[in-house]
Structure 1
Amino acid sequence: MGVVLIAAFGVPVGFWLVSLDPTLVSTGLDAKEWIALYAVLAAILGWLLAAAVQIRNSLKQHTVNTMLQSRLSTAFQDKATKLNAAYPTLTGITPVKHNDWQATDATIRDGVEAARYMLNYYEFIAVGIRSGDFDEKLMRHSWRKIVLNLHELAGELIKHLRGTRPDGAVDHPRVYEHFLWLVERWRNV
Protein backbone atom coordinates (compact mmCIF):
# COMPACT_ATOMS: atom_id res chain seq x y z
CA MET A 1 0.00 0.00 0.00
CA GLY A 2 2.78 2.43 0.93
CA VAL A 3 4.66 1.70 -2.30
CA VAL A 4 1.51 2.38 -4.31
CA LEU A 5 0.95 5.68 -2.49
CA ILE A 6 4.57 6.70 -2.99
CA ALA A 7 4.38 5.81 -6.68
CA ALA A 8 1.05 7.55 -7.14
CA PHE A 9 2.32 10.69 -5.47
CA GLY A 10 6.10 10.60 -5.90
CA VAL A 11 6.47 9.71 -9.56
CA PRO A 12 4.31 12.62 -10.82
CA VAL A 13 6.14 14.96 -8.44
CA GLY A 14 9.46 13.69 -9.77
CA PHE A 15 8.37 14.32 -13.36
CA TRP A 16 7.07 17.75 -12.33
CA LEU A 17 10.42 18.62 -10.74
CA VAL A 18 12.30 17.47 -13.83
CA SER A 19 9.96 19.52 -16.05
CA LEU A 20 10.76 22.59 -13.95
CA ASP A 21 14.50 21.98 -14.07
CA PRO A 22 15.64 19.52 -16.75
CA THR A 23 19.21 19.82 -15.45
CA LEU A 24 18.19 17.68 -12.46
CA VAL A 25 18.51 14.61 -14.68
CA SER A 26 21.64 15.65 -16.52
CA THR A 27 23.60 17.17 -13.62
CA GLY A 28 22.14 14.52 -11.70
CA LEU A 29 20.68 13.56 -8.50
CA ASP A 30 22.21 10.25 -7.73
CA ALA A 31 20.11 7.30 -6.60
CA LYS A 32 20.51 8.13 -2.90
CA GLU A 33 19.30 11.69 -3.42
CA TRP A 34 16.25 10.50 -5.37
CA ILE A 35 15.49 8.00 -2.61
CA ALA A 36 15.83 10.76 -0.01
CA LEU A 37 13.52 12.99 -2.06
CA TYR A 38 10.91 10.23 -2.30
CA ALA A 39 11.29 9.48 1.41
CA VAL A 40 10.52 13.11 2.22
CA LEU A 41 7.57 13.07 -0.17
CA ALA A 42 6.32 9.83 1.40
CA ALA A 43 6.58 11.35 4.86
CA ILE A 44 4.60 14.38 3.74
CA LEU A 45 1.99 12.15 2.11
CA GLY A 46 1.75 10.05 5.26
CA TRP A 47 1.30 13.14 7.39
CA LEU A 48 -1.44 14.45 5.06
CA LEU A 49 -3.21 11.11 5.09
CA ALA A 50 -3.07 10.92 8.90
CA ALA A 51 -4.41 14.49 9.13
CA ALA A 52 -7.30 13.66 6.79
CA VAL A 53 -8.23 10.59 8.82
CA GLN A 54 -8.05 12.59 12.04
CA ILE A 55 -10.31 15.30 10.60
CA ARG A 56 -12.85 12.70 9.45
CA ASN A 57 -12.85 11.00 12.86
CA SER A 58 -13.13 14.34 14.63
CA LEU A 59 -16.12 15.28 12.48
CA LYS A 60 -17.86 12.00 13.28
CA GLN A 61 -17.13 12.38 16.99
CA HIS A 62 -18.50 15.93 16.95
CA THR A 63 -21.63 14.68 15.17
CA VAL A 64 -22.21 11.88 17.68
CA ASN A 65 -21.66 14.27 20.61
CA THR A 66 -24.19 16.72 19.19
CA MET A 67 -26.72 13.95 18.65
CA LEU A 68 -26.28 12.63 22.19
CA GLN A 69 -26.44 16.07 23.78
CA SER A 70 -29.85 16.72 22.25
CA ARG A 71 -31.16 13.53 23.78
CA LEU A 72 -29.64 14.28 27.16
CA SER A 73 -30.82 17.89 27.23
CA THR A 74 -33.65 18.50 29.69
CA ALA A 75 -34.85 21.47 27.60
CA PHE A 76 -35.03 19.28 24.49
CA GLN A 77 -36.86 16.53 26.40
CA ASP A 78 -39.29 19.05 27.90
CA LYS A 79 -40.09 20.51 24.46
CA ALA A 80 -40.47 17.03 22.94
CA THR A 81 -42.93 16.10 25.69
CA LYS A 82 -44.97 19.29 25.14
CA LEU A 83 -44.93 18.80 21.38
CA ASN A 84 -46.17 15.21 21.72
CA ALA A 85 -48.86 16.27 24.20
CA ALA A 86 -50.30 18.80 21.74
CA TYR A 87 -49.54 16.97 18.50
CA PRO A 88 -49.26 13.22 19.04
CA THR A 89 -47.32 11.20 16.48
CA LEU A 90 -47.64 7.67 17.83
CA THR A 91 -50.51 6.48 15.63
CA GLY A 92 -50.12 9.12 12.92
CA ILE A 93 -48.96 12.67 12.61
CA THR A 94 -51.28 15.30 14.00
CA PRO A 95 -50.17 18.48 12.25
CA VAL A 96 -50.20 22.01 13.59
CA LYS A 97 -53.37 23.58 12.23
CA HIS A 98 -53.76 27.01 10.70
CA ASN A 99 -53.94 29.61 13.50
CA ASP A 100 -52.95 27.16 16.29
CA TRP A 101 -50.32 29.81 17.14
CA GLN A 102 -53.23 32.00 18.31
CA ALA A 103 -54.89 29.29 20.41
CA THR A 104 -55.95 29.99 23.97
CA ASP A 105 -55.53 26.38 25.08
CA ALA A 106 -52.27 26.12 27.07
CA THR A 107 -51.43 22.68 25.69
CA ILE A 108 -51.72 23.88 22.09
CA ARG A 109 -49.74 27.08 22.83
CA ASP A 110 -47.01 25.02 24.51
CA GLY A 111 -47.08 22.61 21.56
CA VAL A 112 -46.62 25.43 19.04
CA GLU A 113 -43.77 26.86 21.13
CA ALA A 114 -42.21 23.40 21.29
CA ALA A 115 -42.58 23.01 17.51
CA ARG A 116 -40.70 26.31 17.03
CA TYR A 117 -37.99 25.11 19.40
CA MET A 118 -37.63 21.87 17.45
CA LEU A 119 -37.62 23.72 14.11
CA ASN A 120 -34.90 26.04 15.40
CA TYR A 121 -32.87 23.10 16.66
CA TYR A 122 -33.09 21.23 13.36
CA GLU A 123 -32.38 24.47 11.47
CA PHE A 124 -29.12 24.60 13.45
CA ILE A 125 -28.44 20.98 12.50
CA ALA A 126 -29.19 21.72 8.83
CA VAL A 127 -26.79 24.68 8.86
CA GLY A 128 -24.11 22.44 10.35
CA ILE A 129 -24.69 19.76 7.72
CA ARG A 130 -24.74 22.28 4.90
CA SER A 131 -21.48 23.87 6.04
CA GLY A 132 -19.77 20.51 6.60
CA ASP A 133 -19.59 20.77 10.40
CA PHE A 134 -21.57 17.55 10.86
CA ASP A 135 -21.38 14.15 9.20
CA GLU A 136 -24.51 14.16 7.05
CA LYS A 137 -24.63 10.42 6.43
CA LEU A 138 -24.56 9.63 10.15
CA MET A 139 -27.27 12.18 10.92
CA ARG A 140 -29.39 11.12 7.96
CA HIS A 141 -29.32 7.49 9.07
CA SER A 142 -30.37 8.52 12.58
CA TRP A 143 -32.69 11.48 12.07
CA ARG A 144 -34.14 11.34 8.57
CA LYS A 145 -37.60 10.21 9.66
CA ILE A 146 -37.65 12.67 12.58
CA VAL A 147 -36.84 15.60 10.29
CA LEU A 148 -39.41 14.58 7.68
CA ASN A 149 -42.09 14.04 10.34
CA LEU A 150 -41.33 17.41 11.93
CA HIS A 151 -41.72 19.06 8.55
CA GLU A 152 -45.07 17.36 8.04
CA LEU A 153 -46.19 18.21 11.57
CA ALA A 154 -45.14 21.87 11.44
CA GLY A 155 -45.81 22.67 7.76
CA GLU A 156 -48.52 25.26 8.50
CA LEU A 157 -46.41 26.88 11.19
CA ILE A 158 -43.44 27.10 8.82
CA LYS A 159 -45.64 28.73 6.16
CA HIS A 160 -46.91 31.21 8.76
CA LEU A 161 -43.45 32.09 10.06
CA ARG A 162 -42.06 32.46 6.54
CA GLY A 163 -44.99 34.70 5.58
CA THR A 164 -46.14 32.47 2.74
CA ARG A 165 -48.93 34.21 0.80
CA PRO A 166 -51.78 32.47 -1.04
CA ASP A 167 -50.01 33.00 -4.37
CA GLY A 168 -46.98 31.09 -3.02
CA ALA A 169 -44.72 34.11 -2.59
CA VAL A 170 -42.74 34.17 0.64
CA ASP A 171 -42.13 37.37 2.63
CA HIS A 172 -39.34 35.90 4.78
CA PRO A 173 -37.58 33.29 2.62
CA ARG A 174 -34.61 32.89 4.96
CA VAL A 175 -36.75 31.60 7.83
CA TYR A 176 -36.00 27.87 8.12
CA GLU A 177 -34.34 27.90 4.69
CA HIS A 178 -31.71 25.37 5.77
CA PHE A 179 -34.26 23.11 7.42
CA LEU A 180 -36.33 23.11 4.22
CA TRP A 181 -33.18 22.45 2.19
CA LEU A 182 -32.46 19.45 4.42
CA VAL A 183 -36.02 18.13 4.07
CA GLU A 184 -35.80 18.27 0.29
CA ARG A 185 -32.35 16.70 0.35
CA TRP A 186 -33.45 13.80 2.57
CA ARG A 187 -36.95 13.33 1.19
CA ASN A 188 -36.07 10.91 -1.60
CA VAL A 189 -32.95 9.33 -0.15
Structure 2
Amino acid sequence: MEDHYTISDTINSIIKREANFFNYTSIAISLLIATFACGANGHSEGFYADNKLIFWIASYLFFFIGVFVPLNKAKFLPYGKRFFWGGFGVLGLALLFLVVAIWQSAIPQGGASKMNSEAIDLLGYTSAGALVILGWFVQHQLTRQHNKTNHSLNVLLQMRVSEEFQEQTRLANRYYPSRSHTTISKEDVETYHSSNTVLSNTDLTDTQKKIQSISAHSYLLNYYEFLAYGIKSGVLDEELLFQTIGAVVIGHYQRAEQIVSYARNKSKKTFSNLVELEERWKERRDFDCLQLDKKQKNKRG
Protein backbone atom coordinates (compact mmCIF):
# COMPACT_ATOMS: atom_id res chain seq x y z
CA MET A 1 0.00 0.00 0.00
CA GLU A 2 2.88 2.37 0.76
CA ASP A 3 4.43 1.92 -2.71
CA HIS A 4 1.04 2.51 -4.33
CA TYR A 5 0.65 5.79 -2.43
CA THR A 6 4.10 6.95 -3.52
CA ILE A 7 3.38 6.27 -7.19
CA SER A 8 -0.06 7.91 -7.06
CA ASP A 9 1.30 10.97 -5.28
CA THR A 10 4.07 11.41 -7.85
CA ILE A 11 1.71 10.96 -10.80
CA ASN A 12 -0.84 13.44 -9.45
CA SER A 13 1.88 16.02 -8.85
CA ILE A 14 3.17 15.71 -12.41
CA ILE A 15 -0.30 15.91 -13.97
CA LYS A 16 -1.11 19.04 -11.94
CA ARG A 17 2.21 20.64 -12.84
CA GLU A 18 1.79 20.03 -16.57
CA ALA A 19 -1.79 21.36 -16.53
CA ASN A 20 -0.50 24.62 -15.02
CA PHE A 21 2.21 24.87 -17.67
CA PHE A 22 -0.25 24.45 -20.54
CA ASN A 23 -2.78 26.92 -19.11
CA TYR A 24 -0.33 29.70 -18.25
CA THR A 25 1.79 29.50 -21.39
CA SER A 26 -1.24 29.34 -23.69
CA ILE A 27 -2.70 32.53 -22.17
CA ALA A 28 0.64 34.33 -22.22
CA ILE A 29 1.47 33.45 -25.83
CA SER A 30 -2.03 34.39 -27.02
CA LEU A 31 -1.71 37.83 -25.43
CA LEU A 32 1.76 38.33 -26.89
CA ILE A 33 0.61 37.45 -30.39
CA ALA A 34 -2.34 39.86 -30.10
CA THR A 35 -0.04 42.65 -28.89
CA PHE A 36 2.47 41.95 -31.64
CA ALA A 37 -0.29 42.01 -34.28
CA CYS A 38 -1.59 45.38 -33.07
CA GLY A 39 1.89 46.88 -33.12
CA ALA A 40 2.73 45.47 -36.55
CA ASN A 41 -0.32 47.15 -38.11
CA GLY A 42 1.21 50.54 -37.30
CA HIS A 43 -1.84 51.97 -35.55
CA SER A 44 -1.23 55.61 -34.66
CA GLU A 45 -4.71 56.12 -33.27
CA GLY A 46 -7.16 54.15 -31.21
CA PHE A 47 -6.97 52.07 -28.08
CA TYR A 48 -3.60 50.46 -28.84
CA ALA A 49 -1.92 53.78 -29.64
CA ASP A 50 -3.28 55.35 -26.46
CA ASN A 51 -2.27 52.42 -24.27
CA LYS A 52 0.85 51.11 -26.02
CA LEU A 53 2.95 51.03 -22.88
CA ILE A 54 0.26 49.18 -20.93
CA PHE A 55 -0.04 46.61 -23.74
CA TRP A 56 3.64 45.76 -23.71
CA ILE A 57 4.07 45.77 -19.94
CA ALA A 58 1.02 43.52 -19.53
CA SER A 59 2.33 41.17 -22.23
CA TYR A 60 5.71 40.79 -20.57
CA LEU A 61 4.15 40.47 -17.14
CA PHE A 62 1.79 37.68 -18.18
CA PHE A 63 4.55 35.88 -20.04
CA PHE A 64 6.95 35.78 -17.13
CA ILE A 65 4.20 34.90 -14.68
CA GLY A 66 2.99 32.18 -17.03
CA VAL A 67 6.40 30.62 -17.64
CA PHE A 68 8.84 31.33 -14.85
CA VAL A 69 6.49 31.25 -11.86
CA PRO A 70 5.20 27.69 -12.57
CA LEU A 71 8.78 26.54 -13.19
CA ASN A 72 9.96 28.00 -9.91
CA LYS A 73 6.96 26.66 -8.00
CA ALA A 74 7.39 23.16 -9.39
CA LYS A 75 11.18 23.28 -8.95
CA PHE A 76 11.41 21.34 -12.19
CA LEU A 77 13.47 22.37 -15.21
CA PRO A 78 13.34 19.80 -18.00
CA TYR A 79 14.16 22.33 -20.70
CA GLY A 80 17.93 22.50 -20.57
CA LYS A 81 20.40 25.36 -20.94
CA ARG A 82 18.79 26.77 -24.10
CA PHE A 83 15.61 27.61 -22.22
CA PHE A 84 17.53 28.91 -19.22
CA TRP A 85 19.68 31.36 -21.17
CA GLY A 86 16.88 32.12 -23.61
CA GLY A 87 14.72 33.23 -20.70
CA PHE A 88 17.41 35.57 -19.43
CA GLY A 89 17.88 36.95 -22.95
CA VAL A 90 14.20 37.79 -23.23
CA LEU A 91 14.25 39.29 -19.74
CA GLY A 92 17.11 41.56 -20.88
CA LEU A 93 15.09 42.73 -23.89
CA ALA A 94 12.10 43.41 -21.67
CA LEU A 95 14.15 45.51 -19.25
CA LEU A 96 15.72 47.43 -22.14
CA PHE A 97 12.28 48.14 -23.55
CA LEU A 98 10.99 49.43 -20.21
CA VAL A 99 14.03 51.70 -19.79
CA VAL A 100 13.49 53.26 -23.22
CA ALA A 101 9.75 53.58 -22.57
CA ILE A 102 10.34 55.44 -19.31
CA TRP A 103 12.94 57.60 -21.03
CA GLN A 104 10.48 58.54 -23.77
CA SER A 105 7.74 59.43 -21.31
CA ALA A 106 10.08 61.97 -19.68
CA ILE A 107 10.85 63.80 -22.96
CA PRO A 108 8.56 66.58 -24.23
CA GLN A 109 6.57 66.00 -27.42
CA GLY A 110 8.42 66.69 -30.66
CA GLY A 111 10.87 65.17 -33.10
CA ALA A 112 12.84 63.41 -30.41
CA SER A 113 9.65 61.88 -29.07
CA LYS A 114 8.77 60.49 -32.50
CA MET A 115 12.23 58.97 -32.87
CA ASN A 116 12.04 57.41 -29.43
CA SER A 117 8.57 56.06 -30.22
CA GLU A 118 10.00 54.29 -33.26
CA ALA A 119 12.78 52.89 -31.09
CA ILE A 120 10.22 51.57 -28.63
CA ASP A 121 8.25 49.92 -31.45
CA LEU A 122 11.42 48.29 -32.78
CA LEU A 123 12.38 47.00 -29.35
CA GLY A 124 8.83 45.85 -28.77
CA TYR A 125 8.66 43.89 -32.04
CA THR A 126 12.09 42.36 -31.44
CA SER A 127 11.17 41.35 -27.92
CA ALA A 128 7.82 39.98 -29.06
CA GLY A 129 9.51 37.88 -31.73
CA ALA A 130 11.94 36.49 -29.19
CA LEU A 131 9.11 35.76 -26.79
CA VAL A 132 7.07 33.98 -29.45
CA ILE A 133 10.07 31.82 -30.38
CA LEU A 134 10.76 31.03 -26.74
CA GLY A 135 7.07 30.34 -26.20
CA TRP A 136 7.06 27.91 -29.13
CA PHE A 137 10.11 26.19 -27.69
CA VAL A 138 8.43 25.87 -24.31
CA GLN A 139 5.28 24.43 -25.90
CA HIS A 140 7.39 22.00 -27.92
CA GLN A 141 9.20 20.85 -24.80
CA LEU A 142 5.94 20.58 -22.89
CA THR A 143 4.43 18.41 -25.61
CA ARG A 144 7.52 16.21 -25.61
CA GLN A 145 7.50 15.96 -21.82
CA HIS A 146 3.77 15.22 -21.86
CA ASN A 147 4.31 12.33 -24.29
CA LYS A 148 7.20 10.97 -22.22
CA THR A 149 5.06 11.09 -19.10
CA ASN A 150 2.18 9.29 -20.82
CA HIS A 151 4.49 6.53 -22.08
CA SER A 152 5.99 6.15 -18.61
CA LEU A 153 2.58 6.00 -16.95
CA ASN A 154 1.55 3.29 -19.41
CA VAL A 155 4.67 1.31 -18.53
CA LEU A 156 3.92 1.58 -14.81
CA LEU A 157 0.32 0.59 -15.39
CA GLN A 158 1.32 -2.45 -17.44
CA MET A 159 3.66 -3.55 -14.67
CA ARG A 160 0.71 -3.46 -12.29
CA VAL A 161 -1.87 -5.24 -14.45
CA SER A 162 0.29 -7.64 -16.48
CA GLU A 163 -0.28 -11.19 -15.22
CA GLU A 164 2.93 -12.36 -16.88
CA PHE A 165 5.03 -9.68 -15.19
CA GLN A 166 3.45 -10.33 -11.80
CA GLU A 167 3.98 -14.09 -12.18
CA GLN A 168 7.64 -13.62 -13.10
CA THR A 169 8.08 -11.31 -10.11
CA ARG A 170 6.53 -13.94 -7.84
CA LEU A 171 8.80 -16.67 -9.21
CA ALA A 172 11.88 -14.45 -8.89
CA ASN A 173 11.12 -13.81 -5.21
CA ARG A 174 10.26 -17.45 -4.59
CA TYR A 175 13.85 -18.53 -4.06
CA TYR A 176 15.64 -15.17 -3.88
CA PRO A 177 13.20 -12.94 -1.94
CA SER A 178 13.91 -9.23 -2.05
CA ARG A 179 13.49 -8.70 1.68
CA SER A 180 16.14 -11.25 2.58
CA HIS A 181 18.75 -9.54 0.36
CA THR A 182 19.74 -12.95 -0.99
CA THR A 183 21.93 -12.64 -4.09
CA ILE A 184 22.31 -15.07 -6.97
CA SER A 185 25.74 -16.67 -6.94
CA LYS A 186 27.97 -17.27 -9.94
CA GLU A 187 27.61 -21.03 -9.44
CA ASP A 188 23.81 -20.75 -9.51
CA VAL A 189 23.97 -18.89 -12.83
CA GLU A 190 26.27 -21.52 -14.33
CA THR A 191 23.91 -24.26 -13.13
CA TYR A 192 21.00 -22.44 -14.74
CA HIS A 193 22.74 -22.13 -18.12
CA SER A 194 23.89 -25.75 -18.10
CA SER A 195 20.41 -27.07 -17.32
CA ASN A 196 18.08 -28.18 -20.10
CA THR A 197 15.25 -29.28 -17.80
CA VAL A 198 11.72 -28.21 -18.70
CA LEU A 199 10.14 -27.12 -15.42
CA SER A 200 6.55 -27.20 -14.24
CA ASN A 201 5.08 -25.46 -11.21
CA THR A 202 4.51 -28.63 -9.19
CA ASP A 203 6.77 -30.98 -7.24
CA LEU A 204 9.99 -29.08 -7.93
CA THR A 205 13.25 -29.96 -6.27
CA ASP A 206 15.28 -27.27 -4.55
CA THR A 207 17.62 -26.98 -7.53
CA GLN A 208 14.70 -26.73 -9.94
CA LYS A 209 13.13 -23.96 -7.86
CA LYS A 210 16.43 -22.14 -8.01
CA ILE A 211 16.61 -22.52 -11.80
CA GLN A 212 13.03 -21.35 -12.19
CA SER A 213 13.74 -18.30 -10.05
CA ILE A 214 16.86 -17.39 -12.04
CA SER A 215 14.86 -17.69 -15.26
CA ALA A 216 12.32 -15.22 -13.84
CA HIS A 217 15.13 -12.87 -12.84
CA SER A 218 16.43 -12.98 -16.42
CA TYR A 219 12.97 -12.04 -17.67
CA LEU A 220 12.81 -9.04 -15.33
CA LEU A 221 16.33 -7.93 -16.22
CA ASN A 222 15.42 -7.92 -19.90
CA TYR A 223 12.34 -5.86 -19.12
CA TYR A 224 14.40 -3.31 -17.18
CA GLU A 225 16.89 -3.21 -20.04
CA PHE A 226 13.97 -2.27 -22.28
CA LEU A 227 13.05 0.55 -19.87
CA ALA A 228 16.67 1.73 -19.71
CA TYR A 229 16.81 1.94 -23.50
CA GLY A 230 13.53 3.87 -23.53
CA ILE A 231 15.00 6.37 -21.06
CA LYS A 232 18.22 6.71 -23.03
CA SER A 233 16.36 7.32 -26.29
CA GLY A 234 14.18 9.99 -24.67
CA VAL A 235 10.90 8.09 -24.93
CA LEU A 236 10.40 7.55 -21.18
CA ASP A 237 10.55 10.00 -18.28
CA GLU A 238 13.56 9.05 -16.16
CA GLU A 239 12.53 11.22 -13.21
CA LEU A 240 9.10 9.60 -12.95
CA LEU A 241 10.50 6.08 -13.22
CA PHE A 242 13.26 6.78 -10.71
CA GLN A 243 10.81 8.14 -8.15
CA THR A 244 8.42 5.19 -8.55
CA ILE A 245 10.45 2.05 -9.30
CA GLY A 246 14.04 3.23 -8.84
CA ALA A 247 14.57 1.31 -5.60
CA VAL A 248 12.99 -1.82 -7.11
CA VAL A 249 15.26 -1.75 -10.17
CA ILE A 250 18.40 -1.13 -8.11
CA GLY A 251 17.54 -3.88 -5.62
CA HIS A 252 16.74 -6.39 -8.33
CA TYR A 253 19.92 -5.58 -10.26
CA GLN A 254 22.06 -6.09 -7.17
CA ARG A 255 20.45 -9.45 -6.44
CA ALA A 256 20.86 -10.63 -10.04
CA GLU A 257 24.17 -8.97 -10.89
CA GLN A 258 25.82 -12.33 -11.61
CA ILE A 259 23.26 -12.94 -14.39
CA VAL A 260 24.29 -9.63 -15.96
CA SER A 261 28.00 -10.41 -15.58
CA TYR A 262 27.59 -13.84 -17.16
CA ALA A 263 25.76 -12.36 -20.16
CA ARG A 264 28.24 -9.49 -20.59
CA ASN A 265 31.18 -11.88 -20.62
CA LYS A 266 29.87 -13.04 -23.99
CA SER A 267 28.88 -9.59 -25.29
CA LYS A 268 29.51 -6.21 -23.68
CA LYS A 269 26.43 -4.80 -25.43
CA THR A 270 24.15 -7.09 -23.43
CA PHE A 271 22.38 -5.14 -20.66
CA SER A 272 24.59 -2.13 -21.46
CA ASN A 273 21.75 0.36 -21.00
CA LEU A 274 20.65 -1.23 -17.73
CA VAL A 275 24.21 -1.16 -16.35
CA GLU A 276 24.50 2.56 -17.07
CA LEU A 277 21.08 3.25 -15.60
CA GLU A 278 21.74 1.27 -12.41
CA GLU A 279 25.04 3.07 -11.82
CA ARG A 280 23.40 6.45 -12.31
CA TRP A 281 20.38 5.66 -10.13
CA LYS A 282 22.46 4.08 -7.38
CA GLU A 283 24.70 7.14 -7.23
CA ARG A 284 21.67 9.40 -7.02
CA ARG A 285 19.98 7.24 -4.38
CA ASP A 286 23.12 7.27 -2.23
CA PHE A 287 23.39 11.04 -2.60
CA ASP A 288 19.73 11.53 -1.67
CA CYS A 289 20.18 9.31 1.39
CA LEU A 290 23.24 11.33 2.42
CA GLN A 291 21.34 14.60 2.07
CA LEU A 292 18.44 13.19 4.08
CA ASP A 293 20.81 12.12 6.86
CA LYS A 294 22.30 15.62 6.96
CA LYS A 295 18.85 17.20 7.25
CA GLN A 296 17.88 14.87 10.07
CA LYS A 297 21.12 15.58 11.94
CA ASN A 298 20.59 19.33 11.53
CA LYS A 299 17.06 19.04 12.93
CA ARG A 300 18.28 17.07 15.94
CA GLY A 301 21.19 19.45 16.41
- TM category (shorter chain) comes to 0.7 to 0.9
For 1:179, the equivalent position in structure 2 comes to: 274
CA contact (8 A) 2:183 2:256 kept: no
Q: What TM-score does the superposition give when structure 2 sets the normalisation length?
A: 0.48
- Residue 63 of structure 1 pairs with residue 152 of structure 2: yes
**Residue ranges of structure 1 left out of the alignment (5+ in a row):** 13-28, 164-170
**Residue ranges of structure 2 left out of the alignment (5+ in a row):** 1-57, 65-86, 95-116, 198-206, 285-301
2:142 to 45, 53, 67: 53
1:142 to 231, 235, 244: 244
Aligned length: 169
C-alpha change, 1:133 and 1:7, in structure 2 (3 Å) is closer
Give the deviation of 1:44 after TM superposition: 3.9
Alignment of 1:80-91 (within 5 A): 80-91=169-180
- Residue 11 of structure 1 pairs with residue 93 of structure 2: yes
CA contact (8 A) 1:83 1:112 kept: yes
- Residue 128 of structure 1 pairs with residue 230 of structure 2: yes
For 2:264, the equivalent position in structure 1 comes to: 162
2:162 to 73, 76, 81: 73
Q: Output one character per residue of 1:137-185: Cα deviation in whole Å (capped at 9) or x when no partner.
A: 211122222122222211222222222xxxxxxx411111111111111
Give the deviation of 1:36 after TM superposition: 5.2
Give the deviation of 1:51 after TM superposition: 2.5
For 2:74, the equivalent position in structure 1 comes to: none
For 1:92, the equivalent position in structure 2 comes to: 181
C-alpha change, 1:47 and 1:112, in structure 2 (3 Å) is same
Range 112-121 or range 102-111, more displaced: 102-111
Structure 2 CA distance for aligned equivalents of residues 122 and 74 of structure 1: 17
Q: What secondary structure, in the 3-state scheme, does the structure 1 residue paired with 2:160 have?
A: helix
Structure 2 CA distance for aligned equivalents of residues 2 and 31 of structure 1: 18
C-alpha change, 1:97 and 1:40, in structure 2 (3 Å) is closer
For 1:166, the equivalent position in structure 2 comes to: none
Range 40-49 or range 66-75, more displaced: 40-49
CA contact (8 A) 1:96 1:112 kept: no
Q: What secondary structure, in the 3-state scheme, does the structure 1 residue paired with 2:178 have?
A: coil
The Cα RMSD (Å) is 3.1
Give the deviation of 1:39 after TM superposition: 4.3
Structure 2 CA distance for aligned equivalents of residues 185 and 135 of structure 1: 15
Structure 2 CA distance for aligned equivalents of residues 159 and 46 of structure 1: 47
| AA in 1 matched with 2:145 | R
CA contact (8 A) 1:148 1:187 kept: yes
Range 31-40 or range 101-110, more displaced: 31-40
Q: What secondary structure, in the 3-state scheme, does the structure 1 residue paired with 2:134 have?
A: helix
CA contact (8 A) 1:87 1:96 kept: no
Structure 2 CA distance for aligned equivalents of residues 39 and 114 of structure 1: 57
CA contact (8 A) 2:168 2:219 kept: yes
- The runs of 4+ residues in structure 1 deviating greater than 6 Å are none
Structure 1 CA distance for aligned equivalents of residues 88 and 270 of structure 2: 51
Structure 1 CA distance for aligned equivalents of residues 88 and 165 of structure 2: 52
The structure with the larger Rg is 2
For 1:153, the equivalent position in structure 2 comes to: 255
| AA in 1 matched with 2:178 | T
